[in-house]
Structures are given as structure tokens and as C-alpha cells.
Homo-oligomer: A and B are copies of this chain.
Amino acid sequence: MQHGETHLKSSDFISDIVIGMSDGLTVPFALAAGLSSAVQSNGLIITAGIAEIIAGSIAMGLGGYLAGRTAMDHYKSELAREFQETVDFPEKEKEEVRDIFEKMGLSPQTQQQAVEELSQDKDKWVKFMMKYELELEEPDKSKARKSAFNIGLSYIVGGAIPMLSYVFTSNPDTGFKFSFAVTVVCLLVFGFFKSKLTGQQPIIGALKVMAIGVIAAMSAYFLVRLFN
């Protein structure tokens, strides 16, 4: 069990990093591509890229952190409410438990037996209602905070990858070509690992992550040119 938990933590960490990076690669990459078709200086593209990376990482990181806190508050208030309901309306709550067992496909006799057993232990009863009626699991607050931080930080690293080509080249055309080549490779690599971690087919997943980035970048490139 302890070994299992350690494994899970390390995999959560890697999962956050890979998700943040593959998302971070997409939008700054496409933003830079769009600007490449409209401006003459790499400096402007880099400035816009920095602004986007700051904006995106804060929106993702802070947004994720606050969503985690909200989920915790929601869980606590629902837990208190369910507990009070087993005190105030025990028959109604028993009926709700019975409904759940009925939907599982158990016979009326087994339903009745299961309801009686659960309602003898208030903690078990409330825990059951939280999980199977409300489908709420107790959120892990420190995990949500760490996760938000890791995703936000990885977004910055991922976003830096398509921008670096504009730092080391002298004009947007050349910058875009290098940025495109480097980012496509990185999208494939991160898409591969992201798919492995989320249980998808890695090759198909890698191609999908790459396709989203390339379609976003090409659309931005041609539509910005059209608007100008």
C-alpha cells in the first residue's frame, strides 16, 4: 500500500508536468505563428509571448488552485448536509440508498438487507451517500495546490519552447520555421507521454496533441494575415 501510494504521487507529479507542458506549447506557439505573419520584428513576438505565458500560467495555476479550494468547500458542506438529513429524514435517506441498490440490479430482498446494514452505522451511511448518490470523493487539498503549481510552472516551460526560436533568429519568417519544427517534435513527445499517463493509445494521442497545435498555429497564421 505504501509503495503504491509513493508510485501514485510520483506519477501525479509527472502527469501534471506533461499536461502543463503540452498545453503550454500549443497557445504560445500559435500566437507566435499568427504574429509572424503580421509583424516585422522578433522583439514584438517575444513580448507578446511573454505576456501570454504569464497570463496563461496564472489563469491555469491560480484557476486550478481556486477550483480545488471550491471543491473542498463543496465537499464539506454536502457532507454536513447529508449527515443532517440522516438525522432529520432517515426514512427518505433510506429510500435513496434503496434506489441506488435497485439501479445496480439487486433483488428487493437484498436491497432491504443492504439498506438496513448501512443505516446502522451513520458514518458508513453518509460516506455511501456522498460517493454513490452525489458521486463526490473527498478532494485532497494539498494535492490540488501542488498540482496547480506544477501545471502552471510547466505551462511556462512549455510556452518557452516555441518562443526560444524567435530569440535565436533575426526575423519572424526564420523564427517561425524553427519554432514550427521544434514545437512539432515537442508536441509529439509530450503528447506521447500525456496519452500514456491518461491511458490512451500513445501514438494516436501524440498525433492528436500535435494536430491541435499545428491546426491552431496554421489557423492563426493565415487568419491574422487575412485580417491585416
The answer for the CA separation of A205 and B71 in the assembled complex, in Å, is 12
A151 CB within 8 Å of chain B: no
Scoring A residues 13 to 42 as 1 if CB is less than 8 Å from chain B, else 0, what string do you get?
000000000010011011101110011000
A4 CB within 8 Å of chain B: no
A82 CB within 8 Å of chain B: no
Scoring A residues 113 to 131 as 1 if CB is less than 8 Å from chain B, else 0, what string do you get?
1100110010010011000
The answer for the CA separation of A1 and B34 in the assembled complex, in Å, is 48
Specify which of B30, B34, B205 is in contact with A59 (CB 8 Å cutoff).
B30
A111 to chain B: closest residue by CB? B114
Q: Is the interface of A mostly helix, strand, loop or mixed?
A: helix
**Are A54 and B70 CB-contacts (below 8 A) given A62-B215, A224-B47?**
no
A208 to chain B: closest residue by CB? B66
The answer for the CA separation of A29 and B31 in the assembled complex, in Å, is 14
Using a CB–CB distance below 8 Å, which chain A residues touch chain B? 23, 26-27, 29-31, 33-35, 38-39, 44, 47-48, 50-52, 54-56, 58-59, 62-63, 66, 70, 74, 101, 104-107, 109-110, 113-114, 117-118, 121, 124, 127-128, 132, 199-200, 205, 208, 212-213, 215-217, 219-220, 223-224, 227-228
12 A-B pairs with CB atoms under 8 Å apart are: A23-B59, A29-B55, A35-B51, A38-B51, A47-B228, A51-B224, A54-B224, A63-B212, A66-B212, A70-B205, A106-B114, A113-B113
* A-B pairs, 10 with minimum CB distance: A34-B51, A30-B55, A105-B124, A58-B216, A48-B48, A54-B220, A51-B220, A55-B216, A26-B59, A27-B55
